[in-house]
Every structure is written in structure tokens, then in C-alpha cells.
Structure 1
């Protein structure tokens, strides 16, 4: 866990409430780490700045049984004004990108725990509904969850919420486990 990310969100009262509990796992998202392959460069390098996404923390509860999937993940992000499309409003393309990133975290969390098959999983579709403007600068909460699983197909939903729990954007997405690597 990146202690700076955890400390940042722990200092925000409405975020801190989500970080408590015996089974809560809070960690910097792996996509924030620079990789020699160039993988995750968008979140690890391009958007990783005070004016972009200054801080990012993924949070989930470890299931009671070792055979259960992690069906929901929360991702806290502190957004800067460098993401603006309009003054003090996050660009819609970035809103969709944030939803895609958060929803996409469900698969590797479960693959790491051997609760779903290993392999490369990619977004097949992501339908976004913009409910209200996503403000900048601001701290937001993105929630992602599985809605159903059919073989290699992972149907999911995600939301972006403000500190009061008001939904600002939502998405329905399908992630597909590829038969072979690209």
C-alpha cells in the first residue's frame, strides 16, 4: 500500500468511513505503478500529477470464504483542474476512462485470488450515462461491481459519486477474457 494515498484519503472524513473494517483492503491501484512494458502508462504517468489524478486508492472487502469472488471494488480519486473539459468540470472522455479503469479492477483482483481464470481481459463495451457534471478539483468515489458472469464474459456496472453519495455518472460494461494473448 502507498502510505501517501492511504493517508490522503484517511484524512478526508467521508472517505475514511470506507477504509474501516477487519476485511477492508485499501491499496494503491497497480495501474499507478510505472512498468517497463509501458502497460498502464496512462494512469501511472500521464494522469499521475497534482493537476491530473493526484491520488488514487482502491478499496474492497475480502470475502468471508476463500471460494467467493470479490464482487465490488471502490476507487477513490482526487482530481485536479488539468482534467477540465469546462471550467471546474471533468472532461467527459476522462469520466468514461475513470469508469473503465475502476470497473476493470474487478478482474485482476479476482484473478490474483484465483477466483476467476487467469488471462488478458479487455473492455468489449462501456456505455456511459452522464448524470451530473463531475467537478474538479474534487475527490470522488467510483464503485464497480459484477452484475453477472457468463463463461468468459463479465457483465459489470460502475458509478461515480460525490462526497454526498450523489451519482454523477454511471456505466454498464462488458469485459471479455481473451482466448489468447494479443
Structure 2
């Protein structure tokens, strides 16, 4: 299918208008004062996760239940800038897992996530490591989607090529956390991005770097 210039320019406007957030989700996160700094940041726009293509169904429906993740909201930086493509053969940057990765002043996406439990627990009141990895996979994948569709208007399907997760501290339940994600680099069809799960005190609980292509 041919992609016209107007398709590219109108992509984000159409995306936001067709992915409105449920009021009950907004109300839930509004009840958490520490999240106001994200909800009220004029640099970000909110949208729901589920897309008409059926992508992200796991995130938006399968584990969106009262005992798993009842509320999730994504805030997208409306002025995201896609980094220039790395020349072929250039080493892809890798984060030093011994310490949390430095975060851009305005990450590309910030997810607000309500973790309910107990259905997502691996131990009592501790989120299962597989769920943590899935959250990071879905959230970081959303960032690559926004960058590719912002650039192209329409796109081919992208898949997770690899995902390296570092577990730094337990992700407790019930709790509200944020997941901040950003694109680090791109090379050909490969998009390299990072994400961090952070608690209300700013502690990085888990983080991941992955490649999509």
C-alpha cells in the first residue's frame, strides 16, 4: 500500500482521537497525588493501549482484570524525535546493567500502571518476574511503534528480537508504578529501546533494553 505525505502528518492526530482513555482509569490515577506530575505535564498526551489491529491485546484485555492490572494509561511525548539511523556495522549501544540507565529529561512514553494482585503475584504481594518482563516488553514495544508509525504513517509488523531484563528490587502488589521508555538507537530495521519500572519514590525496580525489528 502506498503511503502519502498526508498520511505521515496526520498519524498522531488520528492515533490520539481513536485511542481515548476511559474516565475511570483517569480517575484512578488522579487519586494518586504523586502521579499528577505526569498527568499534568503539557508535553504528554494520554491514550489507551488497545489498538484496532489486535496488537497489545495481552496488555489491554488479557491481564486487564480486577486482580491483575485493572488500570493502565500511556502518556506519549508529543514531540518525540527519532534518532538518526546508525550506519551498518556500527556497534549498537548496550546499557551497563550494574546501574540504572540514565533517563532522558522527557522519555518518549510514560505508562501509569495499577498492579492489583494476587493473580499476577509470584510470591505474596510481589509481582511475578514473568509479568514484569511482559510489562517491559509491551511498554518498550509501544515506543518503537510510535517512532515507526510517526515516521512512516503506515508500517510493517515489528517483533521483539531480544529483551534483556535486570531485576533490581521487588515490584510489590498492590501498587501503582510508572514505566518510562525511550528509543535509544535505530539501525536498518532494528530499533533499540529501553524501559524502567519505577515506584513512587523514584526507585528503579526493574529495567530492560531490547531490540525490535
Matched residues in 2 for 1:24 and 1:40: separation? Answer: 21
2:73 is matched with 57
Quick one: distance in 2 between partners of 1:54 and 1:78? Answer: 6
Normalised by the length of structure 2, the TM-score is 0.73
Aligned length: 169
The structure with more strand, counted as a fraction of residues: 1
Specify the alignment match of 2:31 in structure 1.
11
Offset, 1:135? 0.2
The answer on 1:80 being equivalent to 2:116 is: yes
Which sits farther off after the overlay, 105-114 or 153-162?
Answer: 105-114
Superposed displacement of residue 95, structure 1: 0.3
Secondary structure of 2:61's counterpart equals helix
Structure with bigger gyration radius: 2
Kept after mapping to 2: 8 A contact 1:103/1:158: yes
Residue of structure 1 equivalent to 2:63: 47
Structure-1 residue corresponding to 2:94: none
Aligned to 2:167: 130
Maintained 8 Å contact 1:110/1:116: no
Q: Is the 1:131–1:168 contact (alpha carbons within 8 Å) kept by the matching residues of 2?
A: yes
CA–CA separation in structure 1 for the residues paired with 2:194 and 2:188:
18
Q: Is the 2:50–2:57 contact (alpha carbons within 8 Å) kept by the matching residues of 1?
A: no
SS of equivalent to 2:155 = coil
Moved over 4 A (4+): none
How large is the RMSD of aligned CA atoms in angstroms? 2.1
- Which protein has greater RCO, CA pairs closer than 8 Å, 6+ apart? 2
Checking the alignment, whether the CA contact within 8 Å between 2:191 and 2:212 is kept in structure 1 is yes
Unmatched runs of 5 consecutive residues or more in structure 2 = 1-19, 83-105
How far does residue 171 in structure 1 lie from its aligned partner after superposition? Answer: 0.5
Q: Deviations over 1:10-31 (max 9, x none)?
A: 2211111111133320122125
Q: Deviations over 1:84-106 (max 9, x none)?
A: 00000000000000000100111
CA distance in 2, matches of 1:39, 1:61: 21
Partner of 2:135: 98
Task: Answer whether contact 1:157 1:170 (CA < 8 A) is retained.
Answer: yes
Q: TM-score, normalised by structure 1?
A: 0.84
Describe the SS at the equivalent of 1:30.
coil
CA distance in 1, matches of 2:107, 2:178: 17
